[in-house]
Amino acid sequence: MKIKEWAEEDRPREKMLLKGIASLSDAELLAILIGSGNSQETAVQLSQRILSSVDNNLNALAKLSIKDLIIKFRGIGEAKAITINAALELGKRRGNSIPIQRPALRTSDDAYRLFHPLLCDLPHEELWIALTNRSSFVIEKVKISQGGTSETSADLRIILKAAINALATGIILCHNHPSGNIRPSQQDNHLTQHLRDAARLLDMQLLDHIVLTDGSYYSYSDEGTL
């Protein structure tokens, strides 16, 4: 049976999308790399045979040359052999890479320093969010909207969708005031209250809303207005 005739949840690519990449076996990952098998074997079966030849040891597989792969395994040509070698080399280099150090946002000053380079010199308002995990480390920063010289707009659905997609537990809102006035507007207050309440329904927390200028900021959390 060809892979395309398998149940969708059993096909390597579809399985990865449905269940995540960690759910795939080494053979299924290798099958994604080579794309197809031969007239007698699916890509997964060919991958299982390749791995079996090295006792399912990826370090041993990495020692096989492009020529070895082409000669020993029908269905593996130069392009597929190069792809396998390149993927294994990337894995090796990743092991030697320095882990990404995500910034932690534990105070309003941390948030201000994160956003200041992005917003301090803009002649117009922009609204950004920082999404954090339970340990207060930043998962990602997302620009939500851009406005004029005096205001910007926000769609709660866009903010919450970004937070859900990132599996975030914390949200920090930040926008700039090009006028230099750090005091929040009534519109800023309404946005803060609505986002705080909506986030709670999704078991998330609005940690702060920073109104930023070049050199100063207003923190809803510090002021007790969150």
Q: pLDDT, tens digit, for every residue of 117-130?
A: 999 889 999 999 99
What was the pLDDT predicted at 49? 96
| Local confidence band at 153 (pLDDT 50, 70, 90 cut-offs) | low
Q: Select the more confidently predicted residue: 11 or 140.
A: 140
Q: Bridge-partner residues for 172, per DSSP?
A: 130, 208
Q: How many helices (H) and strands (E) does the chain have?
A: 10, 5
Give the range among 36-50, 141-155, 166-180 with minimum mean pLDDT: 141-155
Residues with Cβ < 8 Å from 159, sequence gap 6 or more? 129, 144, 171, 173, 195
Please report the pLDDT score of residue 141 as a whole number: 94
Report the pLDDT value the prediction gives residue 13, as an integer from 0 to 100. Answer: 87
pLDDT band at 149 (very low <50, low <70, confident <90, very high): low
Query: What is the arithmetic mean of pLDDT over 50-61?
Result: 95
Percent above pLDDT 70 for the chain: 92
- Predicted pLDDT at 146: 87
Mean pLDDT of the residues in the chain:
90
8 Å CB contact between 136 and 172: no
| pLDDT bucket at 97, cuts 50 / 70 / 90 | confident
Closest CA relative to residue 129, chosen from 205, 203, 182: 205
